[in-house]
Each structure stands twice: as C-alpha cells, then as structure tokens.
C-alpha cells in the first residue's frame, strides 16, 4: 500500500512537471507572437500616419489636384490601375532633389476611393529602402508590446534589447535552441540589420496562476488518497487491537468462569464420594466454599451484564441524596471481609456528607477503584481513601502502595478491555472493564477521573463529580 501511495505521488509529480514545461513552451510562443505582432503594428501604424493625407477617402470630385508627402529616398516608382468602374487612378512616386513626391490623380467624379493597395505598396517600398533604420525606437515599441502581452494575459516583467546584426547571424541565432525566457530576435524589416529581442524574468508566477486549478485538483486528490490510506491503516490497527483485546477477554473470562465451577464440582464430588455428608463439619466447610464460589460466579455474570448495559447506553442515572461517609464505610467493611490478603484501610469523613448522585453507580465506581488498589498491591496492602468537597465538587481519592502504572499507559487504562501489557502472563485476573466503567459513570455525572502513578510507587485515582 505504501508503494502504491508513493507511485501516485511520483506520477502526480511527473505529470505536474510535464504540464509546467508545456505551459513554459506556450509562454515562449506567446511572447514571440506578441513581439512579431507589435513590430508589425508599429510599422503599419507609422505608415498609416505618414500616408493618411496622401491617400484620402473622399466624397466628390478629385480632378487634377495632387496630394504630396516628402520622404528621403532616391526611388522612382509608378503604376496605374482601375479601382472602380469608370474611375482611373494614377499614382506616381519619384525623387526630386533628395525629396520624395507622391501624387494621386483621378479623372471622373467618385464617391469613395480606397487606398488599401496603395498603402501596401508604399509600406513595402519604405521597408525596402530601410526607412525604419533610424525612426523605429525600442521605447516607442515598448508600449505596443506591453499591450500585446496584456491581451494575452502576460504580466511578467521584461526588457527590450535593440540589436544590430547581419541577416546571417540573425538566422543562426533564431535557428538555435530557444531560451524559454527570451524571444526570438525580430528585425524591424526583412532588409534591416536593426532588430529587437525581449528578455523576461521568471514566469513561474504567471504559469502557476494558469495551473492553479490543476494544482489545487492534484493537491486535493493527493490529500484524499493519503487521508483514505491513513483512515484505512488506522481502521486496520484498531481492528487488530480489538481482536487482541477480544481474545484476551475470552481467555480471562473462560478462566474466571472455570475456576468457581471447578471448585464447586470438587466440593460436591467430595461430599458424594468421600462420605463428607456424614461429617457435619466437612459438609458445612464444603457448602461454604461452594457458596463463595457461586457468589464469585454471580459477580462475574453481573459484570458481563453491566458491559451489555453500557454498550446499549440506554440506562439513566437515578439521582438521590446520598451519605458519602456511609457509602465509603460500607465499601471498606465489605472489602475487609472478602479480601484474600491483609489490607490496611484508612479513610476520611466529611462533616457534611450529603451529596446528590446515583448511589448505586457511584458506589460501584468507588468499589472498583478500591478493588483495583487491593488487587495490584502487595501483602499487606495499604489503601487510603480521602473524601473532600472543593469548589462545588466532590472528590474521592483512592491511593495505594501497589505496583504502579507506567506513564505511557496511563491514558489507555480507561479504555474498555485494556490491561497493562505484562507479556502473556497476568498475575492479577480481570477483564479490563473496571476503570472504563469508572470513567463512564464520572462523565455521566458531569465529572472526570484522573490518575497519578509511578512504577513500584503506587497509584492515586481521583474521582470528581459536581455537587448538586
């Protein structure tokens, strides 16, 4: 699965890399097209301004009246042609003492005379005579080029460089490997050695803006893939943990149920086969053992029923006024009787012992804390119970001198079925349910349970619930 995720990342990275280079090529194409268009627009703009007066579109008669513009040239050029039915136009361009004279003669009256073909011829003639060698400037081209770039959505900073080179050198430069951050060298006209080139700063921002949708989509896809992978991995680990907990629970439950059954069976067998019924003392002893084990079996079944009730989460607390001193003393007295080891109990009492809580569930929660304190302590066990009312809260603290709990497990001990790992051996039998029940009851009362513990130094559990 990790290899699959890595492959997706590599593929996405390769795809984005190729997409970036395609956009970079498009950027280079756009800046070249924009520069060519800007040079042409500047040429035709200047031609239009120069000859607008010489080639008018007029209404009415234009008879024998010449229009003139003076240019520096030595060229003679003339032609004549029919531009409309019944209309003859004669055009003459000739040199006269270093000055260019353009004359347009028409014969009959006309409504409109278009000068498109004449403008083209004049533009060709001007370029052929290198008219722009001295007139076209980089500064005047810059504004035209800027508008062309803006129309293509390009805002990257650039500089225009003017270059003088022969046509051979120009061809060699333009046929070499293109630089994506530079345009081709564009001549001002095909016969001129005067050319221009644009150099750009990094177009990364421009390209990223164009690829924004692609990048966001790719990032979302990757995040979704990683999120699904993490969720799946987490689910697998949780299922594995639940499977281990389930197996541990089944093993513990089987052992706990088997022990009282085996003890009762042995007692009954002794009374049947070894004439124990004739000995009243032995009979009473075996019956007492059987009763104790059956009570233990009943407690186990009761715990399982509590688990089922918790899973349904349909029980409600029955709040009532409870004497906390009486409740704690009853728990202590009960454990004094049934403890299988010596236990040194000490506890405090309140001058105002009345609290409002669910007596049964609160007693069970405190009983679980005391039971754990005894089970996980040595012999003799030392258990101290402190009761206090602080800041509108009831605090019941159970402290022992037991084996303690490593810090890394102190958050997990309140999870259902969790038991502190001790290899495959658990010297103290249990189901990992007591503390999860304590936490649930505390939270249902609107309180909490906390633990302080150090290995081999004992543990201190504090159950806190609000008063009233």
Measured from the Cβ of residue 383, the count of other Cβ atoms closer than 10 Å reads 26
Per-residue pLDDT tens listing for the chain (468 residues): 677 778 878 888 888 888 888 888 888 889 889 888 888 887 777 666 655 544 444 444 343 444 444 443 333 433 443 333 444 444 444 444 444 444 444 443 333 333 444 444 554 555 544 444 434 567 778 888 888 888 888 888 888 887 777 666 666 676 667 778 888 888 776 556 678 888 898 888 888 888 888 888 888 888 888 888 889 889 998 888 878 777 777 777 777 777 788 888 888 887 777 776 777 887 888 888 888 888 878 877 776 776 666 655 556 888 999 999 999 999 998 888 777 788 899 999 899 999 999 988 899 899 889 988 998 888 889 999 999 998 889 999 999 998 999 988 888 888 877 778 765 444 566 667 788 889 989 999 999 999 999 988 899 999 999 986
pTM: 0.48
Contact in structure between 125 and 100 (CB atoms under 8 Å): no
Contact in structure between 42 and 144 (CB atoms under 8 Å): yes
Measured in degrees and rounded to the nearest 5, phi and psi for residue 195 equal -135, 175
CA–CA distance, 363 with 216 (Å, rounded to integer) = 57
Contact in structure between 77 and 125 (CB atoms under 8 Å): yes
* pLDDT value of position 115: 42
DSSP string, 36-80: HHHHHHHHHHHHHHHHTTTS---SB---S-------S----EEEE
CA–CA distance, 182 with 31 (Å, rounded to integer) = 8
* pLDDT value of position 47: 64
Measured in degrees and rounded to the nearest 5, phi and psi for residue 203 equal -90, 20
CA–CA distance, 24 with 202 (Å, rounded to integer) = 10
Omega before 459 within 30 of 0, i.e. cis: no
CA–CA distance, 221 with 215 (Å, rounded to integer) = 10
Measured in degrees and rounded to the nearest 5, phi and psi for residue 453 equal -160, 150
- 328-380 pLDDT, tens digit per residue, is 999 998 888 777 788 899 999 899 999 999 988 899 899 889 988 998 888 88
* pLDDT value of position 451: 93
Q: 314: which 2 tokens?
A: 């349909």
């Amino acid at each position: 699965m990790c290899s699959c995720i890595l492959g997706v990342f590599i593929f996405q990275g390769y795809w984005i890399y190729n997409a970036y280079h395609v956009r970079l090529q498009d950027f280079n194409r756009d800046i070249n097209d924009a520069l060519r268009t800007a040079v042409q627009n500047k040429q035709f703009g200047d031609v239009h301004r120069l000859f607008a007066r010489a080639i008018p579109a007029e209404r009415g008669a234009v008879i024998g009246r010449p229009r003139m513009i003076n240019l520096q040239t030595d060229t003679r050029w003339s032609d004549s042609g029919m531009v409309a039915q019944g209309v003859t136009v004669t055009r003459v361009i000739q040199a006269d003492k270093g000055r260019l004279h353009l004359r347009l003669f028409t014969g009959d009256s006309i409504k409109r005379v278009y000068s498109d073909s004449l403008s083209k011829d004049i533009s060709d003639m001007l370029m052929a005579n290198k008219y722009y060698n001295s007139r076209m400037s980089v500064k005047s081209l810059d504004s035209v080029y800027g508008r062309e770039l803006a129309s293509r959505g390009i805002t990257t900073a650039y500089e225009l460089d003017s270059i003088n080179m022969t046509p051979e050198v120009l061809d060699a430069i333009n046929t070499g490997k293109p630089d994506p951050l530079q345009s081709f060298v564009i001549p001002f006209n095909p016969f001129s050695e005067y050319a221009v080139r644009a150099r750009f700063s990094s177009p990364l921002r421009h390209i990223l803006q164009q690829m924004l949708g692609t990048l966001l989509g790719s990032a979302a896809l990757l995040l979704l893939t990683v999120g699904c992978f993490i969720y799946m991995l987490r689910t697998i680990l949780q299922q594995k943990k639940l499977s281990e907990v389930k197996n541990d629970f089944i093993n513990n439950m089987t052992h706990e149920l088997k022990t009282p059954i085996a003890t009762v069976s042995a007692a009954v067998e002794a009374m049947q086969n070894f004439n124990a019924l004739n000995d009243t003392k032995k009979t009473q002893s075996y019956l007492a053992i059987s009763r104790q084990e059956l009570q233990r079996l009943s407690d186990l079944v009761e715990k399982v029923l509590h688990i089922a009730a918790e899973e349904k989460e349909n029980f409600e607390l029955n709040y009532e006024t409870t004497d906390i001193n009486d409740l704690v003393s009853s728990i202590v007295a009960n454990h004094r009787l049934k403890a299988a080891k010596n236990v040194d109990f000490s506890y405090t009492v309140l001058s105002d012992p009345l609290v409002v809580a669910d007596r049964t569930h609160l007693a069970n929660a405190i009983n679980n804390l005391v039971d754990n304190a005894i089970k996980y302590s040595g012999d003799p066990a030392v258990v101290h119970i402190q009761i206090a009312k602080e800041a509108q809260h009831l605090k019941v603290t159970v402290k022992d001198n037991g084996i303690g709990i490593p810090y890394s497990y102190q958050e997990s001990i309140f999870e259902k079925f969790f038991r502190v790992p001790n290899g495959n051996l658990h010297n103290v039998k249990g189901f990992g349910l007591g503390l999860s029940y304590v936490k649930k009851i505390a939270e249902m009362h609107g309180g909490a349970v906390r633990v302080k513990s150090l290995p081999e130094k004992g543990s201190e559990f504090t159950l806190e619930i609000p008063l009233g």
